[in-house]
C-alpha cells in the first residue's frame, strides 16, 4: 500500500491560512509539535502508515518548532528547511514560495553544452557563503563556463564541512545564508547565463545531529556504506523513506530553480525493489518537467561502470542523464606522471587514456587487479554528454593526505596539457575551483563537529588512514580552523603571474571548445584516440567530414615527433600550449609549418582544425 500525501513535501509548509505539518513517525504512539521557546504543544493527528498531520495558524515563516514523540525530549524536524542554531536545536519555518524570482525567461542549456565548474561554498571566497559566490559570477562568466556545481549544502554541524556529513537534506546550511540566500544565488546565476548544479547526498546521512532513527525506519541493517548506516530504500517501512527523497529532489528543482542535481556515490545506494529509487526519482522529475515546461538533469557519481544507471527507462535503465567518469581522471593522472597507488594501480596511463577517449569506460568487461574481478560493461551506445570528465575534483584532491592540487604536483606545462586533455574530450568537461589559474592553496579535508568525542574520532581516523605516509608529514587536523582557511582560494592571484597566463590559457581553451564544431559536437562516433607508449604521445581526432580537429599530446619530458593524419591537407594550427604566449618553451609564433610531421615540445599539446 502507498503512503498518504504522496504529493506533499514532508515538514512544515506555509499556506495562505497558516501552515500544514506532515511528519512520518511510525514508531510513535503520540506526537506533538512544540512552538518556539514556549511550553506550548499542539497534538498531531495520526494517519495511515505512520504519518502525522496538522493544520495550524500558529506557525508562520520564521517560527521555531520541534517535535515531541511519546512525551520524550523535543527533536528537530527530519524535513526541516532551516536549522538557524545548528543541528541539535529547533527547526525554523521557511516560506519557500515567498522569494520573488526574476528568471522567468531562463532556459537551461542543453546538457551537451554544459561546461562545469565545481566549487565549495565555504572555501570559494573568504566570505564563505552564497553571497560571496555572487561576487564572482562575472568572473565565472568571463572564464567561459556556463554551469556551476556546488558541493553539498544540506545542514551540517558547525560552519566548516565538505558537506557530505549533512544531516538535514531539506535544510540549506545556515552559515552559507540559508534557503533565501540560495534562491538569490540561483536567480543571480540565471541572470548571468549560468546554470546551477547542486550536489546532493542520498546514500547516507552524517553522524552528528542524526535523529532520524527516533522517528522511523530511515535506515536498514541489510546493507552498509563506508560512511554510515545505509538508507532504507527497499526494507520494511521504505515507502515513506523513498517519498522523503523523491520530494527532496522535486523541492530543489521546483522551489530553488536548481537546473541539475549531482547525486553522490549512487553505487552506495542499495535498492533491490522492482523499480529502483533512481528510476522512481526520474519518473517524478519527468512529471514535474511536464507540468512546468522546464528542463532539469540528473547527474550521478557512479563507480560501477554499469550503463543501467544512464540508459533510458525504455531500455530498462534508471534514466540518469549523465555520470561522473573517474576512470578518465585516473588514466590522465597516471599519464601525467602521478603515483600508481591505491585505485590508481589499475591504470596504465596513456593507453588507458586513449581507451577512455574511445570507449568512455576503461574497464568494460576485463579483469581489474585492484578489484580482483572482471569489471564493467561496454558503453558503446551512450553519447558523450552522458559522461563528465575532469583532471581534478574535490575527492581526488581532498582525499590526498595533504590535499595537494595539480598545481603542486605537476609542472606548469603539464597542467596546461591536462587542461587540454579534458577540454578537448568528447565528454562534458568539469573544472575544480581555482585550477583555471593554478591555485596553489591545498584543498584539505575539514569538519567542525560540535561533539567532542566525534571530533576526536575523526582526527584519529584521519591519522590512521594515512599512517603509512608518515614520511610526508602529519595529516592536517580536520577540526582546525586553519585547515579550512588555508583551503580557501586566493583571489589576488589571477592578477599575478604565472596565474594570469594560466587563466588566459583556460579562457582560450574554453573558447575553442565552444566555437570549433568538432569539439562542441559530442558524437562519439567521430572520435579516435591512438596512444604511442614508447614516445608517450597521444593523437586525438574528433569530428566528421570536413569539420575535424586533431589534438597532438606529448606527455613525455622530451621533444617528440608525431605524424598528422593524411585525411586532411588543410590542417590549421589553432593552439600551441608550448607557445611563449602561454609561458611555454617555444619562442616562435603560433604558425608552425604543417609538413606531415610535427615536433611536439615536452609536456605540451597542439590543436589543429580542418573546416
Spot the catalytic one: 149, 199, 280, 301: 301
Annotated active-site residue 138? The verdict is no
Antiparallel, parallel or unpaired: β 528-532 and 537-544: antiparallel
Give Cα separations from 171 to 66, 154, 155, 178, 215 (angstroms): 14, 5, 5, 8, 17
The Cα–Cα gap between 368 and 308 comes to 20
Q: Is 362 annotated as a binding residue?
A: no
The Cα–Cα gap between 407 and 435 comes to 7
Q: Is 262 annotated as a binding residue?
A: yes
CA nearest neighbour of 551 among 582, 591, 511, 518: 518
Spot the catalytic one: 234, 264, 271, 306: 264
Q: Is 330 annotated as a binding residue?
A: yes
Using omega within 30 degrees of 0 as the cis cutoff, is the peptide bond preceding 498 cis? yes
Q: Is 174 annotated as a binding residue?
A: no
Q: Is 178 annotated as a binding residue?
A: no
Q: Is 264 annotated as a binding residue?
A: yes
CA dihedral 488, 433, 158, 128 (to 10 degrees): 60
Q: Dihedrals φ, ψ of 387, to 5°?
A: -130, 130
Q: Is 549 annotated as a binding residue?
A: no
Angle between helical axes of 326-335 and 412-423 (0-180°, round to 10): 150
Q: Is 394 annotated as a binding residue?
A: yes
Place of cell 558537506: 163
The Cα–Cα gap between 213 and 476 comes to 33
Burial 45-60 (b: 16+ CB within 10 A, else e): eeeeebbbbbebeebe
* Cβ pair 429, 512 in contact under 8 A: no
Q: Is 305 annotated as a binding residue?
A: no
Q: Is 581 annotated as a binding residue?
A: no
Beta bridge partners of residue 374, listed in sequence order: 367
Q: Is 397 annotated as a binding residue?
A: yes
> In the numeric block, which cell numbers belong to residue 147?
554551469
Order of strands, sheet of 604-610, starting from the edge strand that comes earlier in the sequence? 528-532, 537-544, 547-554, 604-610, 572-576
Ranges of beta strands (E only) in 122-213 are 147-150, 154-155, 168-172, 195-200
Q: Is 287 annotated as a binding residue?
A: no
Q: Is 4 annotated as a binding residue?
A: no
CA nearest neighbour of 80 among 158, 5, 38, 21: 21
Q: Is 326 annotated as a binding residue?
A: yes
Q: Is 414 annotated as a binding residue?
A: no
> In the numeric block, which cell numbers belong to residue 414?
603539464
586 secondary structure, DSSP code:
B
The Cα–Cα gap between 561 and 578 comes to 14
Annotated active-site residue 321? The verdict is no
Q: Label residue 565 exposed, middle or buried (CB < 10 Å: 0-12, 13-18, 19+).
A: middle
Residues at the binding site for substrate are 262-267, 326-330, 394-399
Catalytic residues: 264, 301
Residues at the binding site are 262-267, 326-330, 394-399
Amino acid at each position: 500500500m502507498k503512503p498518504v500525501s504522496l504529493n506533499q513535501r514532508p515538514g512544515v509548509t506555509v499556506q495562505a491560512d497558516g501552515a500544514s505539518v506532515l511528519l512520518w513517525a511510525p514508531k510513535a504512539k503520540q506526537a506533538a509539535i512544540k512552538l518556539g521557546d514556549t511550553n506550548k504543544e499542539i497534538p498531531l493527528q495520526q494517519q495511515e502508515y505512520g504519518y502525522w498531520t496538522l493544520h495550524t495558524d500558529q506557525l508562520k515563516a520564521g517560527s521555531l518548532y520541534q517535535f515531541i514523540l511519546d512525551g520524550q525530549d523535543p527533536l528537530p524536524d527530519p524535513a526541516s528547511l532551516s536549522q538557524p542554531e545548528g543541528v541539535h536545536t529547533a527547526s525554523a519555518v521557511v516560506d519557500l514560495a515567498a522569494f520573488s524570482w526574476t528568471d522567468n525567461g531562463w532556459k537551461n542549456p542543453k546538457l551537451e553544452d554544459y561546461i562545469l565548474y565545481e566549487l565549495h561554498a565555504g572555501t570559494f571566497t573568504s566570505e564563505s557563503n552564497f553571497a560571496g559566490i555572487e561576487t564572482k559570477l562575472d568572473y565565472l562568466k568571463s572564464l567561459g563556463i556556463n554551469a556551476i556545481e556546488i558541493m553539498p549544502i544540506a545542514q551540517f554541524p558547525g560552519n566548516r564541512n565538505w558537506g557530505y556529513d549533512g544531516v538535514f537534506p531539506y535544510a540549506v546550511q545556515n552559515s552559507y545564508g540559508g534557503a533565501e540566500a540560495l534562491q538569490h544565488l540561483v536567480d543571480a546565476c540565471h541572470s548571468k547565463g549560468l546554470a546551477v548544479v547542486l550536489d546532493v547526498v542520498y546514500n547516507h546521512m552524517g553522524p552528528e545531529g542524526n535523529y532520524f532513527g527516533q522517528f522511523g525506519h530511515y535506515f536498514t541493517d541489510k546493507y552498509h556504506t563506508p560512511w554510515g548506516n545505509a538508507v532504507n530504500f527497499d526494507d520494511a517501512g521504505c515507502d515513506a523513506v523513498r517519498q522523503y527523497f523523491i520530494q527532496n529532489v522535486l523541492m530543489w528543482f521546483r522551489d530553488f530553480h536548481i537546473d541539475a542535481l549531482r547525486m553522490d556515490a549512487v553505487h552506495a545506494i542499495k535498492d533491490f525493489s522492482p523499480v529502483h529509487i533512481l528510476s522512481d526519482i526520474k519518473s517524478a522529475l519527468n512529471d514535474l518537467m511536464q507540468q512546468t515546461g522546464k528542463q532539469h538533469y540528473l547527474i550521478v557519481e557512479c563507480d560501477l561502470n554499469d550503463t543501467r544507471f544512464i540508459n533510458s527507462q525504455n531500455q530498462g535503465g534508471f534514466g540518469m542523464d549523465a555520470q561522473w567518469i573517474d576512470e578518465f581522471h585516473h588514466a590522465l593522472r597516471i599519464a601525467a606522471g602521478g603515483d600508481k597507488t591505491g585505485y590508481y594501480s589499475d591504470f596504465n596511463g596513456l593507453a588507458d587514456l586513449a581507451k577512455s577517449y574511445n570507449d568512455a569506460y576503461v574497464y568494460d568487461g576485463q579483469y581489474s587487479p585492484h578489484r580482483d574481478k572482471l569489471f564493467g560493461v561496454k558503453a558503446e551506445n551512450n553519447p558523450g554528454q552522458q559522461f563528465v570528465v575532469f583532471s581534478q575534483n574535490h575527492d581526488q584532491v581532498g582525499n590526498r593526505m595533504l590535499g595537494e592540487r595539480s598545481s603542486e604536483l605537476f609542472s606548469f606545462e603539464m597542467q596546461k596539457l591536462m587542461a587540454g586533455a579534458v577540454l578537448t574530450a568528447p565528454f562534458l568537461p568539469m573544472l575544480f575551483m581555482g585550477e583555471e589559474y593554478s591555485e596553489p592553496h591545498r584543498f584539505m579535508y575539514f569538519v567542525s563537529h560540535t561533539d567532542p568525542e566525534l571530533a576526536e574520532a575523526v582526527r584519529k581516523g584521519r591519522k590512521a588512514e594515512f599512517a603509512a605516509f608518515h614520511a610526508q608529514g602529519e595529516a592536517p587536523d580536520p577540526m582546525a580552523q586553519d585547515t579550512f582557511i588555508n583551503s580557501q582560494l586566493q583571489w589576488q592571484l589571477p592578477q599575478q603571474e604565472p596565474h594570469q597566463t594560466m587563466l588566459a590559457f583556460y579562457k582560450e581553451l574554453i573558447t575553442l571548445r565552444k566555437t570549433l564544431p568538432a569539439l562542441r559536437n559530442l558524437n562519439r562516433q567521430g572520435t579516435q584516440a591512438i596512444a604511442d607508449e614508447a614516445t608517450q604521445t597521444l593523437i586525438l581526432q574528433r569530428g566528421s567530414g570536413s569539420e575535424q580537429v586533431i589534438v597532438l599530446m606529448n606527455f613525455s619530458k622530451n621533444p617528440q615527433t608525431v605524424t598528422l593524419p593524411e585525411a586532411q591537407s588543410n590542417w590549421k594550427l589553432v593552439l600551441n600550449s608550448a607557445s611563449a604566449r602561454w609561458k611555454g618553451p617555444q619562442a616562435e609564433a603560433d604558425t608552425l609549418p604543417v609538413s606531415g610531421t610535427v615536433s611536439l615540445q615536452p609536456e605540451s599539446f597542439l590543436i589543429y582544425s580542418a573546416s
